[in-house]
Amino acid sequence: MKSNSKPKVIDLYAGVGGLSLGAIRAGFDLALAVEWDKHAMKAHEINFPKYKHLNTDIAKLSGKKLMKEAGLAEGELDGLIGGPPCQGFSVIGSRNHLDPRNDLFVKFFKLVKECKPRFFVAENVLGILGEQYDAIRKSALKQVKDDYEVLDPIKFKASDFGAPTSRERVFFIGYRRDSISELTKEGFEKQKVAEVTTVAKALQGLPTRINSEWLSEEDSWRLVKPLSNPYFKKYVDGNIPEGMGDEEAVRKYKEEGLISGNFGTRHSTEVYKRYKALKPGQTDSVSRSVRLIPNGLCPTLRAGTGTDKGSYQAVRPIHPIAHRVITPREAARLQGFPDWFQFAPSKWHSFRQIGNSVSPILAEAILRVIIKKIP
């Protein structure tokens, strides 16, 4: 593990690690990452090889067990962060207030109460603010109201912080009044940047011509050219924190200029013709895929459904120039992940992991504000 001098966080519902990466780049030490999906956990382990991982059902996890797994005693945890499953709240889904996954939102706050971190950050979809979920939010925040100063829910667009996606999410942030300086919405708002990272800027250097037969993980490794945009470059090109990254993937990236995730997709002649006829911003009438606008932002990338809901692939955007849907590596760029970062060795799992993730650019911006408030 890394130096004990850094403030420690536990990442719940860690997924592939968008929040984890943001936390580490902000200066935190990741004490533990917890995730029940074995494919997401495997990818997290690959990218964060020197950190502790726990593959378990968080619904059955106690605060005492969580702290023990992290190797922390009472008072040693600085932050509990995470993005509880949001499918039950999503406007894309059925928005069922009885969806059992909604209980995991309340569980996050129960673990905050039991673990007593200095602060917490919980991310979710905007749908959770709906009136039908008032009771769920009230039940969750009731767990922490006595010990924490809880900010009103804050909506953040990833693009406001320099990410190439218009993805907007709500964050629930709280801190212990006795151990952290005051946090305010205005403090986070000040992290917004004037820089707009467009789709064209984000995809620069990635191969535009993708062979539809590049279907294996081995075939997906392709050459990448340098980025010219300095702001986005610092997030995706290099900047590998100590103790992070798969050793072989980092070697290929640094020494050979190769990156993974450039999977091909087989489109029929009919589909190809339809996509070719689309102008930027137009939507395909059959697949409902939208052609990305080069000087615009990527819309929110969807994760699709899990195995319990039929394993349906989410609708993927169409490349702004090529007449095909985007690759997982292009999706990763558009979400703000670095080129050395690895995902599952399959398209379906890769897109799920990227679509379910918090943009690490946004995560870092939020957590940089908080770490400066820790004495």
> Which alpha helices (DSSP H) does the chain contain, by range?
18-26, 38-47, 63-70, 103-115, 134-142, 185-189, 199-203, 230-236, 247-251, 269-277, 328-335, 347-355, 360-371
Encoded amino acid at 273, one letter: K
Q: Residue 302 in contact with residue 199, Cβ under 8 Å?
A: no
- How far is Cα 263 from Cα 346, in angstroms, rounded to an integer? 8
- Length, in residues, of the chain: 375
- How far is Cα 309 from Cα 290, in angstroms, rounded to an integer? 24
Query: Which residues are paired to 148 by β-bridges?
Result: 176
Kindly name the residue from 86, 104, 206, 293 that is annotated as catalytic.
86
- How far is Cα 356 from Cα 172, in angstroms, rounded to an integer? 18
Tokens 């536990």 sit on residue: 10
- How far is Cα 237 from Cα 195, in angstroms, rounded to an integer? 17
Q: Residue 250 in contact with residue 339, Cβ under 8 Å?
A: no
Which stretches does DSSP call E strand in the chain? 8-12, 29-34, 53-54, 79-82, 119-124, 148-150, 154-157, 168-176, 222-223, 258-259
Q: Which of 255, 258, 201 is nearest to 228 (CA)?
A: 201
298 among known catalytic residues: no
Give the contacts of 44 (CB within 8 A, at least 6 positions apart). 14, 15, 16, 17, 20, 33, 35, 53
Question: Tokens standing for 209?
Answer: 């011509």
CB neighbour burial string for 214-238, b if at least 16 within 10 angstroms, e if fewer: beebeebbbebeebebeebbebbbe
336 alpha carbon, distance to own chain's centre: 9
- How far is Cα 287 from Cα 233, in angstroms, rounded to an integer? 32
Q: Which residues are catalytic?
A: 86
